[in-house]
Amino acid sequence: MQAGSRRECIVRTHGDFSLEGKLVVVGFPGMALVGKNVADALVRKFYLEKKASIFTIHAPGAVPVERGILKPAEISLYTKEDSPVAVLTSPFQPSSEESQNALAHSILSFLEKYNAKRVLAAAAYVSPEPALPRRVYVAASSTHLLERLRGLGAIVMNGGISGLNGLIPGLAPVYSMEGAVLLGETGEFYVASGIVDYRAAAEVVLVIGKLLNVQLEVSDMISSAESVERWIRESLRREGEEERGEREREPHTHM
């Protein structure tokens, strides 16, 4: 994959594979880590195997080290022969718009080479007060795909979607693919606090299961969500007690 005279990415494959007939789900880190958690959940639930590693010049300018071993950041593609889905994910996405656009084109060129025809990204939709159960919003590159996903319970959205989770499906038609984004509703508190919204991710996974005609179990994700919610309630309770204590210790002036 090349952009001008500069090599944008190096791909290392792990065995033979094809993406023909598969739904490629994209999930990069973003708000409340909804997209990344959807991707990770699908890898677990379909027992997918890593089939390709993409190393890009748009990766962060640092190399992770695990027990003394250098682990260069990569974008990973997971699938297996009898699975209806493939998953593309990574622990990072570029911060600049130029790098995001360049990497989106490189990824789509790679997917095109392996005969992908449908790309669906997972992302977050931020609401002041998210509903229970979390709502799932949708945007798509065609009316046909939009209506299909709306028929599965997703709500048509307006506005914009930033980052690779928006760019990859948005640019998919340039590479003769259909593209769509499913956005799990999350709250402003989750985003501002950097907290993972497993409940939002679970709702997106359920819609993807309906699209694939596969019943997916999300009780593990709901359990994680409940643990996070207990932690939030306890944190807010402690903060409230500390604030009350500080007010009580403040000197009072009587006139």
Which residues lie closer than 8 Å to 93 by C-beta, 6 or more apart? 28, 29, 30, 100, 103, 163, 164
Which residues lie closer than 8 Å to 104 by C-beta, 6 or more apart? 164, 167, 168, 171
What average pLDDT score do residues 32-52 get?
98
pLDDT of the residue at 158: 95
CA distances from 92 to 62, 71, 76, 103, 182 (A): 11, 13, 11, 12, 19
Running DSSP on this structure, what letter comes out for residue 181?
E
Count of all residues that appear for the chain in the document: 255
pLDDT of the residue at 4: 46
DSSP string, 191-202: HHHT---HHHHH
3-class DSSP assignment, residue 178: strand
Whether 64 and 71 have beta carbons less than 8 Å apart is answered as: yes
Provide the residue ranges of all domains of the chain, joining segments of one domain with +.
2-217
| C-alpha to C-alpha distance for 172 and 226, rounded to whole angstroms | 36
What average pLDDT score do residues 101-108 get?
97
What average pLDDT score do residues 69-98 get?
97
Q: Give the fold, CATH level 3, of 2-217.
A: Rossmann fold (3.40.50)
30 has pLDDT over 80: yes
* pLDDT 10s digits, 117-157: 999 999 999 999 899 999 999 999 999 999 999 999 999 99
Mean residue pLDDT of the chain comes to 93
pLDDT of the residue at 233: 86
